[in-house]
Chain A
């Protein structure tokens, strides 16, 4: 992985990082990838991909409203850092 990859990931995550940080992070990412690389030595030819591990299938719910599990507006906003007239408020990301 290159430093430009780290910068790309930072952009996607909207996390500002400086030059020193991207150098350190790139090194850390590479260390992790090196460890995970061991997995690539395992021969998986002919093995079906695993979509899930529970063995369950066709788990549905009927299309019904359950008022009892719904939050009040106060409950929904309880963990928000900032609110305004019932909305959760965050810094603007998309600049037009």
Chain B
């Protein structure tokens, strides 16, 4: 391939990115998905301390589903406009890997809790295929011990509830992929169901990437292959990995070859993707309904109740605060964080309006940390603090009297003018006095004291 040939660039540009996303996020329930072990893998003091017969996959361990994890998964689906399956179940997904003590992962195959829905982005909506609930695997650390390459396993993460959000291949640019991920993280944090700590692996991104030729686009055909890039732990890396794949696959396609269907990892240091393993087909996973976990039948009234419990979503809060209070983007970005904080700020803003204070001034004070964001404090106390901060502060009477006495002694000419009826020199004395006592000082108090002393002279 001749790199100088300009037609190669032209051909690469003729491909359209076809990209679907798979996002995993750990739910922050108190206990694990199918057992009563502590769900707090990142802050465990030692490895393998949050385990029991169920999450270690010991014979006889009986999994029982965590009610809260299911409720949160369905609420996430409702927030994203999904349809909720009134009948649903858990399935076993079999594969052999040391991070899976049972030899299978409890997941959902053909009847996930949620289907459909969409995530809005500034580049257009990205439709969702499904949201399902599963258990996270054990954490593996690859190391070399005594010259031997080994994997070290910690089961504190095994069995942590994990939602998987699968999108349709609607993503058309690396930037849109990143925005999609950010919006999902925002919603999950807002609903307070997941921390989505990307560095720790609490939220993990995968992109299914392929390129569509102009001919395929004209015939409405999708590419005949897809490459899955896994284990991406930042939105910047996601953008880089997709850009890298677009380039790599374009070069392969330019030579007339179809890129291999495979799973690749992303190396952020080298900014390249690399082959991880040949993709297993669904048949290889030997999915089967988990006989240990009876299925679920939800009443429509239950789903309605959960829908009703959903808070106003962040996008809507931002529009409302922008329209009603004129809050700027910086303030909206910083203040719209979770439902609890929104409710608190709503009551703070309402009280501010009642007291004749512009809510956007309160917002600015919160943004520049002049006021503390603390939903524990009452709106009354927040506004009291604000008023104290902005009110003119009174000056110690004795100190003020001494200061003015000094000024008057230093400027006998001005005093003479005042006594001759040129009262405008009062402004001069005010300026001198304010410079000494500070601009926050109560100007009225200063003026009164100057006049009092001048009259006594």
B39 to chain A, nearest CB (A): 8
Q: Give the interface size bracket for B toward A.
A: 35 or more
Query: How far does the alpha carbon of A73 sit from the alpha carbon of B297 in the complex, in Å?
Result: 38
Whether B43 is near chain A, meaning CB under 8 Å from some CB there, is: no
> What's the least CB distance linking A1 to chain B, in Å?
13
Assess whether A59 is in contact with B65, with CB atoms less than 8 Å apart.
yes
Bound: A96/B65 CA distance, A: 36
Q: What is the interface of chain B, defined by CB distance below 8 A to chain A?
A: 29-31, 35-39, 46-53, 56, 64-70, 89, 95-98, 141-142, 145, 148-155, 265, 274, 276-278, 280, 284, 289, 291, 293-297
In the complex the two chains form, is B145's CB within 8 Å of A73's CB?
no
Which chain A residues border B51 with CB–CB below 8 Å? Answer: 70-71, 76
A39 contacts across to B, CB distance below 8 A: none
A92 with B36: in contact, given A60-B66, A86-B46 (CB under 8 Å)? no
A90 and B151 contacting across the interface, CB-CB below 8 Å = yes
Contacts of B38 in A (CB 8 A): 65, 67, 70
A71 to B265, CA, bound (A): 34
| Shortest Cβ gap from A29 to chain B (Å) | 14
In the complex, how many residues of chain A place their beta carbon closer than 8 angstroms to a beta carbon of chain B? 41
Partner of B294, one of A59, A84, A94: A59
What are 25 A-B pairs with beta-carbon distances under 8 A? A11-B278, A12-B95, A51-B89, A54-B294, A61-B36, A64-B31, A65-B39, A66-B36, A70-B36, A70-B38, A71-B51, A73-B46, A76-B48, A76-B155, A86-B46, A86-B47, A86-B49, A87-B154, A88-B153, A89-B152, A91-B150, A91-B151, A92-B150, A94-B276, A96-B265
CB closest residue in chain A, given B34: A61
- A residues less than 8 Å from B297 (CB atoms): 57-58
Minimum CB–CB distance for A42 against chain B, Å:
19
